[in-house]
Every structure is written in structure tokens, then in C-alpha cells.
């Protein structure tokens, strides 16, 4: 332990890993040889001084010998130094250095010994300085080889002591002690210097090793990943771009080296990158658009500032991923048919408008547009025509709303427009423009299509600021526009919300009534004009709504249709009506109204069959009344359903005839058993010759097509007489009876009712 410590203290020994020993030794040799010129100059100066000092002395020949030998030694050392600079000496060379040093020490020791021994006291001071200088310089020049340094010092010191012992024996011990103290101190200095050098070398080696490992890792990283590294200096110039970087940039390496990193990016990305670099904070996965000549790409760039005020980082090409992402984003945010943004984007735009309005008080308007009769067009002309129509509409709306408004497709045939920084008057103009734009006919091939659209408008902040609230209000206004005849625009009014509430209450009560079977069916007789007997009864639904009294279907059927309640409700009516009719004698028929929503229900035919079977009613006694719109919607399916019912023996009547605008074409679409002329033509038949002409034409057409005709809404004798005169076979109206509950029908003689009541009119039940 002590020995080991002494080795460290006096030789500066350090544990050097075996693999580094050779390079550490080479370093020490290098350091030793590097001092060769200094040693040569020192020796030369000493030679000059000694020659002058001892020119006339007896020791002069010795000085010459020393000078000559020293010159040889210096020559050897200089040659050795040159060799070392160009060649790696082996382990033997260390031994040579030690031997050389010891020889040199012996030479210096010898000359000092000779000079001290042969000189007189006048020279002692000079020789003392000389000895001290030799010892100091020796320790310095040989510090990288402490063993040699110690040997050298001891030889020089010994020479001085021996010389002193000869010249002045009484001083030799003092001299020896002083020299020994000096040697030990100098040796410690040499050892410390050697230790520091070795440790520095080891630290450098470790650093180099870490750098090599890092370089290896980075090379490996580049070779095996899609990413590449980048490095720039303080002026943002590229430093040593890797091959992968060169490939990614598609520019020659020498153009990239020293070139501007920012110049590779598109202007908006340059701006962003410049910001990041100026911030001097690490950044990660920044999406930047690259623009090199005609080449466009997206790079994900991460960076870290370096100590030399430059940057280093990683890049990867994310163009494909971004394209896919952009495509997905496009699909999720845009409608592929019209290329218009969808509802989600509109809501975002509304949120932005809301923020702006909050900050600046700027108003904006939301228009919700619904195409009228689009469904019919789709069904009659086919989906490709429907799609083409939507595209034309989108284009028209685009032109109409201009660049300052935001247009979106909400889905189906619904569009929306957001107009910012707008006053109510301007919003009104815009709404009119939209309605007019949609009213103009659309030409698809050689077909002219007239559809039109309705518009609901909500303005912010008056009608709310929240996107959901505005949307709801615009929808309410749209609902009103549709209810008021379509092809028009309506602004939201506070009352609309109430209406909606009323409707919501109605829906709740309807559902409850359905669940509790709280509805009733009433029956209104259909009278044969010739026999004056009841040929059948039309089933009409009645609802005794709590708090409202007996409510007529005109008030709740639409709600039931819109909410889908009509399907279970209609099934209930079918069962109830058939159950009642089955109890009537005389083969009196029963008519049931079916709404379009019921026709769409796939289980309709099964329900009818099941009810007929359950109550044992002859299908020929059942009549189904449908309105024209049944033939407008889902045409093919509905016609198939009608045929299926007809095959059972059920009769099919076209109700409210004349209220649709292309009624006659529907007569060709399906072979109806009966046409019911709408009461609007009957109402004025006694005064309006026009209505008379229409009814006459319908009766004659029906006869030609083999259909029976019923006139609805006959309220007085005059109307009845005119209708009978025109050849109408069946009438229905308050003149004969209002709709009555089943309890008022004489089950044994149901046909007799009209006979007894044909005159006078009896107002018995609610109409």
C-alpha cells in the first residue's frame, strides 16, 4: 500500500487500461521528444557559459569532452524526436529513453563532479547555480518519464556531492542533503505532471470513445431509420449534411454544405422555423412544408440547440402520411359530392364567428336551406340525377353567396350558409337571393327540373350566439318556411320556439295516448247516390287529449307522421277498424286511411292480413285510402305494396284527388278502384262552373279507367244533386252524417243509416 502510494507520489503512476497503454506511452514519448529542441538549446547555452567560465581553467579539456559528448547526445535525441514524429516507436523505445536519460544524467553528473572537484572556491557559486539549473531543467525535460527523471537527478546530484566531497569534504553532507531535498521536490513535480498528462490523455480517450460510439449510433440510426440528421451553425448554414439528408433534399451535397437550411422550406414554414430557431428552445415533430425547386414535400422536423449556438436535430419525410391524413381529413370534413365543407366545419366556423362577435360585436347570420321535393326527384329520376342536381344546386349556391360567406352541405338536401359581419336587411337580401337561385329551373341533359328550396334564417346575436342554438333556431325558421308553402325564406321568431315546444308536448301526449290506447276510431258513412244506402264507412281517428278535449287528426297526424308514431298508431287503427267492421252485417265496407309513412313500413301487408284473419273480415270489404304523395315517395316499393294488398282482394282508393299538382299521372301509375274527389272541389260546386267542369272531367276519366268516384265534403242537398247529376256514384259529407263512434252504428243494419238520415242533416258528432 505504502509502496503503491510512493509509486504514485514519485512516479505519478496511474492505472491505464491495457488497450490504452500503448497510446498513453506513445503520448509520453511524444511529450518527451517534443522537448528535444529545448534540451538542445539548454545544453548549448550551458556549453557556451562553461566554455567562457573555465576557458583558462585546468578543467577546460573536460568541458570540451563534455561539450562534444553532449552534442552527440543532442544529435541522438533530435534524431529520435524526428523518428517519433513520423513513426510509432515500440516498447523498446521506452527503455532507450530511460537509458538515454540516465546516460545524459551521468554525463551532467560527471562534468559537475569534475568541475567542482577541480575548481577553486570562486567557482562554487556558479557551479551551485549550474547544478540547480541542471536539476530543475532535467526534471522538466524528463517529466513524462519520472523513473528516468529520478535516475537523471540522482546521477547529477551524486556528481555534485562527490565533487564537493573531494573539493571540500566538510560540506559534502550539507550539499548532499540540500540536493536530496531538491531532487525529491522536483521528482514530485515531475510525477504530478506525468500523472496529470496521463489522466488528461485518458479523459481525451474516453471522450473520443464516446464521440466514436455516438457517431456509430448516429450512422446506425441513419442507416436503419427513415429519419435523417441535420446540423446547422449559428448562421443557420448546413454543416456536413449526411447522405440521407442529401437524398431527401434531392440537391448535390456540395450545394447543401454551407447552404441555408431555411431556404429548403416554403415561405410559411420558413416563417415558423425561423421563429423556432430564434426561440432557441428544443422543438419536436414540427410539420414543415419543403419547397425545393418544383419539389414539394412535408418534413417532420425536431431540433435541439447546440453549445456552439448552432442546432442539430432529426428530420423525417411525412409527405405520404400527411397526404393520407389530409385525405382522411378531407373525407371527414368535406362532402365528396359537392366538395363543400360539412356540418362539423360549419360548426367550427360558427364558433369562430361567435368569438369574433363576442370581441367586436359583429353580427352574423346563419341560413339553413332545404330543397323542396328533392326526394321525389331522387325517386322518380334516380339517384344519379339526384346527385347531379345537388351538384348544380351547390354550384348555384356558391355563386349566389359569394366569397365572403361560408357555404356547407349539412347532409342530404340540406345546405347552410354563414354570412359574417352582416345586418338583418342584408341577411334578408341574401335569403331572397338563395330562394331565387333555387327557383330557376335546372337542366339535366334535356330534362328540365323544377324543385326550389326553403330557407330558415337565424341572426346573431339577436337569435343567440351559441352555434347549437343558432342552428336550432334556423331549423325552426326553416320548418316554418316549409309549413308556409315552401319556396320561401323565413326568419326565426321567438314564437317558433313555443310552437316547437307545443309540438314536443303533443308528441309526448301522443306517445302516452298510444301506449294507453286512449284513442278512438270514428266512422263516417259513404253513401251510394243511386241506392241512397250506406255502402261503407271511412275510419277517422279521434283523440280525447287530456286538457284539450276531442282533437281531430288534422292536428296530430302530421306530428305522428314526423315522429314515426303513425306506424304503431296506424296498425292499431287497422285492427280496430277491421274488428268493428267484422261485426257489421250486410257486407258494408270499411275504409282506412294510410299515410305515406305507413306505406313504407314493411310489415304493413302482414298487419292487414293478420287483422283480416283475426276478425274474419272478407278482404273485399276493406278499402285502403292513400294520398298522392304515397306515389311520389318510394314509388316502386309503395306500388308493390299496393299490388300486394290488391291481390288480397282489398280495394285501393286515391284520397283527396286534385290536391297534388300532377294528379292525372298518378291515375296511370296504379289501377285504383276508386277516386275520392277532394272536398275543395265540392265546396263551391254549386257556384263554380269551373269546379263543376273539373269534377265532370274526373268522373268521366274515372269511368273510362273503370274506377268509382266518391265526392268528399258534401254538406248540402244542392251539392248532392249536382254531383248526382254529374254521375258521381258515391258521396260523403256532413249532409249525411258527421263521423260517429261505432256505438252509433246499427250493427244489424249498418247500411240503413244514411237511408234514415239522408234528410235532414243530423249534426251528431264532431267533424
Site residues (CB under 5 A) for Mg ion? Answer: 593, 625, 655-656, 712
Taking CB under 6 A as the criterion, the residue among 109, 341, 739, 750 binding ligand C2E is 739
Give yes or no for residue 57 binding ligand C2E (CB under 6 A): no
554 binds, among ligand C2E, Mg ion, none (CB under 5 to 8 A by kind): ligand C2E
d(CA 231, CA 241): 7
Count of residues of this chain found to bind ligand C2E when the rule CB under 6 A is applied: 26
**Cβ closer to ligand C2E: 475 or 678?**
678
The interface region with ligand C2E, picked from 12-20, 232-240, 414-422, 590-598 by CB under 6 A, is 590-598
* Residue 430: CB minimum distance to ligand C2E, A: 38
Unique residue bearing C-alpha cell 492505472: 15
d(CA 731, CA 723): 8
* Residue 540: CB minimum distance to Mg ion, A: 8
Instruction: Provide φ and ψ at 303, rounded to 5°.
Output: -150, 160
Touching ligand C2E, residues 662-701 (CB under 6 A)? 679
**Cβ closer to ligand C2E: 115 or 534?**
534
Nearest alpha-carbon partner for 431 in 481, 390, 394: 481
289, 298 in Cβ contact below 8 A?
Answer: yes
Helices (H), 440-590: 467-483, 494-515, 553-563, 566-581
**Cβ closer to Mg ion: 32 or 522?**
522
The interface region with ligand C2E, picked from 92-100, 158-166, 423-431, 732-740 by CB under 6 A, is 732-740
29, 88 in Cβ contact below 8 A?
Answer: no
426: exposed, middle or buried (Cβ count in 10 Å: 0-12, 13-18, 19+)? middle
540 binds, among Mg ion, ligand C2E, none (CB under 5 to 8 A by kind): ligand C2E
Give yes or no for residue 8 binding ligand C2E (CB under 6 A): no
The interface region with ligand C2E, picked from 203-211, 273-281, 506-514, 727-735 by CB under 6 A, is 727-735
- Give the cell for residue 687: 257556384
739 binds, among ligand C2E, Mg ion, none (CB under 5 to 8 A by kind): ligand C2E
Stretch 472-511: interaction string toward ligand C2E, x if CB under 6 A: ----------------------------------------
The interface region with ligand C2E, picked from 57-65, 467-475, 491-499, 711-719 by CB under 6 A, is 711-719
d(CA 460, CA 174): 110
Touching ligand C2E, residues 526-555 (CB under 6 A)? 539-541, 552-554
Give yes or no for residue 93 binding ligand C2E (CB under 6 A): no
751 binds, among Mg ion, ligand C2E, none (CB under 5 to 8 A by kind): none
Give yes or no for residue 733 binding ligand C2E (CB under 6 A): yes
523, 742 in Cβ contact below 8 A?
Answer: yes
736, 757 in Cβ contact below 8 A?
Answer: yes
524 binds, among Mg ion, ligand C2E, none (CB under 5 to 8 A by kind): ligand C2E
Taking CB under 6 A as the criterion, the residue among 116, 297, 477, 573 binding ligand C2E is 573
**Cβ closer to ligand C2E: 370 or 580?**
580
34-42, Cβ contacts within 8 angstroms, sequence gap of 24 or more: 34/81, 35/140, 35/141, 36/74, 36/77, 36/78, 36/80, 36/81, 37/78, 37/81, 38/141, 39/74, 39/77, 39/137, 39/141, 40/74, 40/77, 40/78, 42/137, 42/141
Q: Which residues pair with 539 in a beta bridge?
A: 523, 592
Taking CB under 6 A as the criterion, the residue among 656, 691, 723, 731 binding ligand C2E is 656
* Residue 513: CB minimum distance to Mg ion, A: 21
d(CA 143, CA 727): 139
d(CA 489, CA 574): 39
* Residue 390: CB minimum distance to Mg ion, A: 34
Q: Closest residue (Cβ) to ligand C2E?
A: 733
Computed on alpha carbons and rounded to an integer, the radius of gyration of the chain in Å comes to: 57
The interface region with ligand C2E, picked from 100-108, 168-176, 229-237, 710-718 by CB under 6 A, is 710-718
* Residue 712: CB minimum distance to Mg ion, A: 5
Instruction: Provide φ and ψ at 282, rounded to 5°.
Output: -60, 145
**Cβ closer to Mg ion: 25 or 732?**
732
* Residue 570: CB minimum distance to ligand C2E, A: 6
- Give the cell for residue 765: 258528432
Query: What's the CA angle centered on 600, arms 595 and 601, to 5 degrees?
Result: 100
Q: Which residues bind ligand C2E (CB under 6 A)?
A: 524, 539-541, 552-554, 557, 570, 573, 593-595, 625, 655-656, 679, 712-715, 732-734, 739, 767
Amino acid at each position: 500500500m505504502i509502496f503503491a502510494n510512493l509509486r504514485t507520489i514519485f512516479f505519478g503512476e496511474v492505472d491505464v487500461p491495457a488497450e490504452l497503454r500503448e497510446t498513453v506511452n506513445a503520448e509520453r514519448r511524444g511529450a518527451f521528444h517534443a522537448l528535444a529542441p529545448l534540451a538542445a538549446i539548454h545544453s548549448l547555452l550551458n556549453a557556451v557559459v562553461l566554455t567562457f567560465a573555465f576557458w583558462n581553467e585546468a578543467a577546460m579539456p573536460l568541458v570540451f569532452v563534455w561539450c562534444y559528448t553532449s552534442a552527440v547526445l543532442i544529435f541522438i535525441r533530435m534524431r529520435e524526436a524526428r523518428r517519433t514524429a513520423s513513426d510509432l516507436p515500440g516498447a523498446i523505445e521506452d527503455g532507450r529513453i530511460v537509458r538515454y536519460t540516465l546516460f545524459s544524467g551521468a554525463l551532467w553528473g560527471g562534468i559537475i563532479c569534475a568541475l567542482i572537484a577541480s575548481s577553486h572556491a570562486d567557482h562554487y557559486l556558479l557551479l551551485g547555480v549550474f547544478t540547480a539549473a541542471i536539476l530543475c531543467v532535467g526534471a522538466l525535460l524528463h517529466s513524462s518519464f519520472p523513473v528516468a527523471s529520478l535516475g537523471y537527478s540522482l546521477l547529477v546530484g551524486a556528481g555534485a556531492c562527490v565533487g564537493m566531497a573531494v573539493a571540500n569534504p566538510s560540506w559534502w553532507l550539507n550539499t548532499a542533503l540540500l540536493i536530496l531535498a531538491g531532487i525529491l521536490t522536483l521528482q514530485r513535480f515531475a510525477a504530478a505532471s506525468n500523472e496529470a498528462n496521463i489522466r488528461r490523455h485518458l479523459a481525451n480517450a474516453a471522450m473520443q470513445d464516446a464521440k466514436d460510439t455516438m457517431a456509430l449510433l448516429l450512422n446506425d440510426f441513419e442507416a436503419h431509420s427513415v429519419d435523417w440528421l441535420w446540423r446547422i451553425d449559428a448562421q443557420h448554414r448546413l454543416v456536413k449534411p449526411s447522405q440521407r439528408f442529401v437524398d431527401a433534399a434531392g440537391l448535390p451535397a456540395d450545394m447543401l454544405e454551407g447552404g441555408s437550411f431555411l431556404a429548403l422550406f416554403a415561405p410559411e414554414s420558413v416563417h415558423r422555423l425561423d421563429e423556432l430557431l430564434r426561440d432557441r428552445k428544443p422543438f419536436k415533430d414540427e410539420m414543415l412544408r419543403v419547397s425545393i425547386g418544383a419539389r414539394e414535400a412535408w418534413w417532420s422536423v425536431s431540433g435541439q440547440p447546440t453549445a456552439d449556438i448552432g442546432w442539430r436535430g432529426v428530420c423525417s419525410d411525412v409527405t405520404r402520411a400527411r397526404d393520407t391524413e389530409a385525405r382522411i381529413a378531407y373525407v371527414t370534413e368535406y362532402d365528396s359530392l359537392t366538395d363543400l365543407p360539412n356540418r362539423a366545419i360549419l360548426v367550427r366556423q360558427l364558433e369562430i364567428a361567435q368569438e369574433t362577435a363576442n370581441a367586436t360585436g359583429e353580427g352574423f347570420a346563419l341560413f339553413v336551406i332545404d330543397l323542396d321535393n328533392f326526394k321525389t326527384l331522387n325517386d322518380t329520376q334516380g339517384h344519379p340525377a339526384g346527385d347531379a342536381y345537388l351538384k348544380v344546386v351547390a354550384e348555384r349556391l356558391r355563386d349566389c353567396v359569394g366569397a365572403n360567406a361560408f357555404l356547407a352541405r349539412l347532409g342530404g338536401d340540406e345546405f347552410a350558409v354563414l354570412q359574417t359581419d352582416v345586418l338583418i336587411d342584408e341577411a334578408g337580401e341574401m335569403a331572397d337571393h338563395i330562394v331565387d337561385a333555387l327557383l330557376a329551373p335546372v337542366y339535366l341533359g334535356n330534362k328540365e327540373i323544377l324543385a326550389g328550396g326553403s330557407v330558415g334564417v337565424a341572426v346573431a346575436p339577436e337569435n343567440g350566439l351559441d352555434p347549437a342554438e343558432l342552428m336550432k333556431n334556423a331549423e325552426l325558421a326553416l320548418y316554418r318556411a316549409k309549413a308556409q308553402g315552401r319556396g320561401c325564406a323565413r326568419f326565426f321568431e321567438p314564437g317558433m320556439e313555443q310552437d316547437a315546444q307545443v309540438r314536443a308536448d303533443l308528441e309526448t301526449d301522443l306517445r302516452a295516448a298510444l301506449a294507453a290506447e286512449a284513442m278512438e276510431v270514428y266512422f263516417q258513412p259513404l253513401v251510394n247516390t243511386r241506392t241512397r244506402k250506406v255502402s261503407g264507412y271511412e275510419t277517422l281517428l279521434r283523440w280525447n287529449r287530456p286538457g284539450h278535449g276531442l282533437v281531430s287528426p288534422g292536428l296530430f297526424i302530421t306530428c305522428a307522421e314526423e315522429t314515426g308514431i303513425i306506424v304503431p298508431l296506424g296498425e292499431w287503427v287497422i285492427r280496430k277498424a277491421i274488428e268493428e267492421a267484422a261485426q257489421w252485417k250486410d257486407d258494408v265496407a270499411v275504409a282506412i286511411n294510410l299515410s305515406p309513412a305507413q306505406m313504407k313500413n314493411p310489415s304493413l301487408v302482414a298487419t292487414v292480413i293478420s287483422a283480416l284473419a283475426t276478425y274474419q273480415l272478407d278482404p273485399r270489404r276493406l278499402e285502403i285510402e292513400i294520398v298522392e304523395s304515397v306515389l311520389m315517395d318510394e314509388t316502386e316499393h309503395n306500388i308493390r305494396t299496393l299490388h300486394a294488398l290488391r291481390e288480397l282482394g282489398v280495394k285501393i282508393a286515391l284520397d283527396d284527388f286534385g290536391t297534388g299538382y300532377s294528379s292525372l299521372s298518378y291515375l296511370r301509375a296504379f289501377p285504383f278502384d276508386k277516386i275520392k274527389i277532394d272536398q275543395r272541389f265540392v265546396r263551391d260546386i254549386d257556384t263554380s262552373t269551373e269546379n263543376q267542369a273539373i269534377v265532370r272531367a274526373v268522373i268521366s276519366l274515372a269511368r273510362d279507367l273503370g274506377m268509382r268516384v266518391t265526392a268528399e265534403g258534401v254538406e248540402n242537398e244542392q251539392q248532392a244533386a249536382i254531383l248526382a247529376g254529374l254521375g258521381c256514384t258515391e258521396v260523403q259529407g256532413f249532409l249525411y252524417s258527421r263521423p260517429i263512434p261505432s256505438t252509433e252504428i246499427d250493427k244489424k243494419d249498418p247500411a240503413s243509416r244514411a237511408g234514415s238520415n239522408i234528410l235532414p242533416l243530423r249534426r251528431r258528432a264532431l267533424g
